Amino acid sequence: MKFKNSVFFRSLTGLGFFLLGVSATPLLAQNHQNSFYNTTNLDSKLVKPIFQNPSLTSFSTKEIKGTDMAISPWEKRVGITGAFGESTISTTLGFSHLYGLGSSRRFKIGYGLRLSSFFGSDREFTAAPPDLASADNPNSFFVENSQTNAINLGFYTDYSITKNLLIGFNIDMIGFSFGGEQDGLVVQSGFPLDFVNNDTAKPTGFNALLVGDNDRGTLNSEFWLGYKITSNIMIRGAFSYLFTEYTTTGQYEDDNDRFRYKASQGAIGINYIF
């Protein structure tokens, strides 16, 4: 009886532990799930602010903005132009650097460096000094074939009528000229006969914009209209007004040895903008 009671007691005890285990398993599973969920929430609460931290996002934005290229008010151009007039041809190769004014930057102002080459046939170069230039050609220098070159620093400006259509002006201010020696005839007007003398001449070395007939040397200027066919390429049509000047070996009326030709030319050119 005692043995039976012992076996019976153990059986009841085992059954109780089994039932307790079965009933406890879902609870433990739920507790484990809740624990994982809470841990995930905890991690989310910790991780989420890290990625949403204003200092980090602003830093990232600054990094992106720092790599973006700001639109500069400065604009650089290189270009070539060909101009044609009465028995004359001229070519130019130039560089300009302009600054856009105001928020729209439509109006630009700057400087440029230009190489100009002039070719003419059977041209009459008239007296260059102001007091003689204002007279009715008191003396002239006739050249069969003339060729002069000049490198000048100049003033440049333009205005954007639309995004692609521009109008502009430029003028040489100071520089120097070079070229070969030319043979010619100096004709001095007189009564009853003109005085004619054979002479040689070279391009006047120093160029300076001194306004009107006070100018010295070879100077170029343009009024132009341009159209951007792309953001980097612009074609131009222009009116070119080019002074070229020779200095003769001999001196003539009022000790003058400078003779000038003024060439009015139509021109077409192309510019690369960067």
Quick: pLDDT tens for 4-61. Answer: 444 444 444 454 544 445 444 444 445 544 544 444 444 444 444 444 544 444 333 3
Distances (CA, A) of 124 to 16, 186, 196, 221: 131, 10, 14, 21
CATH number of 74-273: 2.40.160
Q: For the chain, what is the radius of gyration of the CA atoms?
A: 44
The token pair at 120 is: 């003419």
pLDDT of residue 150: 98
Quick: pLDDT tens for 173-193. Answer: 999 999 999 999 999 876 666
The DSSP result for the chain, as a single string, is: -HHHHHHHHHHHHHHHHHHHHHHHHHHHHHHHHHHHHHHHHHHHHHHHHHHT-HHHHHHHHHHHHHHSPP--SEEEEEEEEEEEETTEEEEEEEEEEEEEETTT--EEEEEEEEEEEEEEEEEEEEE-SHHHHTSS-SEEEEEEEEEEEEEEEEEEEEEESSSSEEEEEEEEEEEEEE---EEEEEEE--SSS-EEEEEEEEE-SEEE--SGGG-BS-EEEEEEEEEESSSSEEEEEEEEEEEEEEEESS--GGG--EEEEEEEEEEEEEEEE-
CA dihedral 31, 35, 36, 37 (to 10 degrees): 100
Cα separation of 250 and 61, whole Å?
73
- Partners of residue 183 on adjacent β-strands: 200
Task: Walk along the chain (274 residues) in steps of 10 and give the mean pLDDT of each run.
Answer: 45 47 48 47 47 43 43 93 97 98 95 98 95 82 96 98 97 98 90 81 98 95 98 98 97 93 98 97
Cα separation of 136 and 115, whole Å?
32
| CA pseudo-torsion sign 198, 203, 205, 208 | positive
- Partners of residue 166 on adjacent β-strands: 160, 226
Distances (CA, A) of 208 to 121, 242, 268, 270: 25, 13, 25, 27
pLDDT of residue 70: 61
pLDDT of residue 191: 60
pLDDT of residue 58: 39
Q: Sketch the domain layout of the chain as residue ranges.
A: 2-67, 74-273
pLDDT of residue 244: 98
